Amino acid sequence: MTSPKHSSHNLFSNATLDMPRSKSSARWLKEHFDDAYVKRAQAEGMRSRAAFKLEELLERDRLLKPGMTVVDLGAAPGGWSQVVRLRLGDKGRVVALDILPMQGIGGVEFIEGDFREDAVLEALQARLNGQRADLVLCDMAPNISGVGVVDQARTMHLAELALDFARNWLKPGGSFLVKLFQGTGFDDYLRGLRADFARVTLRKPRASRARSREVYALATGLRIHPAQAGAESSEGAAP
């Protein structure tokens, strides 16, 4: 795509991070393809190694229940949506959003576009029939520039966008799972989560690489503030 709006579209997907260059690129590739979780994903027909991170988190925290509606932000290539669909069976809904195209997954409703844009949110509202989600997932990560302060700022920006989405689209009492990287803005972000949710815990799945600053914040029990409650009673269930 060539329009300015989409020139940096990879920023909003967890599909692929820009790989390091030259010798470091070769090392990264070797490590990637030697990785036990990559091999397991290929053997089991999963779309990404990230699927095993979510499997562990779902098992540990019992996040899924029959009949739930789950929204997966930055879903491509579809590893997390794939896991949720398998876990829910035929009881529940999975709606995936990404600015990048994603190969179809049976039982997963996919909306292609930027979740900040009105047209995409209107499409989501139509899919949900005016209802809200029980769980919002976000495994998004920015393209890596190699400049730490820039990459951290981009990561936290994505997390802020996802949190804003969760505030608007979760049911009262709903849950939000988001990938974060420890660094500038991390503590402030957690304070914001704790203001909006009854409980916030940090998780480091075994499938996360040990040297990575990556952690997952699980926020459960979305609080409804008085102003939001008033808006809901006057406007109905849909955002």
Summarize pLDDT for 20-68 with one digit per residue, the tens: 445 656 655 555 556 665 666 665 556 577 788 999 999 899 999 999 9
pLDDT of residue 26: 62
Residue 214 corresponds to which tokens in the numbers above?
């990556």
Q: Is the pLDDT of residue 14 over 60?
A: no
pLDDT of residue 130: 83
Question: 195-198 — which CB contacts under 8 Å span 24+ positions?
Answer: 196/163, 196/167, 196/222, 196/223, 197/221, 197/222, 197/223, 198/222, 198/223
Q: Is the separation of the CB atoms in 75 and 142 below 8 Å?
A: no
Q: Is the separation of the CB atoms in 95 and 124 below 8 Å?
A: yes
Return the CATH class of domain 45-235: alpha beta
179 is catalytic: yes
pLDDT of residue 144: 80
Task: Indicate the pTM of the whole model.
Answer: 0.79
Residue 99 corresponds to which tokens in the numbers above?
């600015």
The Cβ of residue 42 has, within 10 Å, a number of other Cβ atoms equal to 11
Q: Is the pLDDT of residue 206 over 60?
A: yes
**In angstroms, how far is CA 24 from the centroid of its own chain?**
28
Strands 93-98 and 197-203: unpaired
Q: What percent of the chain has pLDDT over 90?
A: 61
SS3 1: coil
Among 5, 30, 53, 179, the active-site one is 179
Q: Is the pLDDT of residue 186 over 60?
A: yes
The sheet carrying 170-181 orders its strands as: 108-112, 93-98, 69-73, 133-138, 170-181, 214-222, 197-203
Model pLDDT for residues 97-122, shown as the tens digit of each residue: 999 999 999 999 999 999 989 999 99
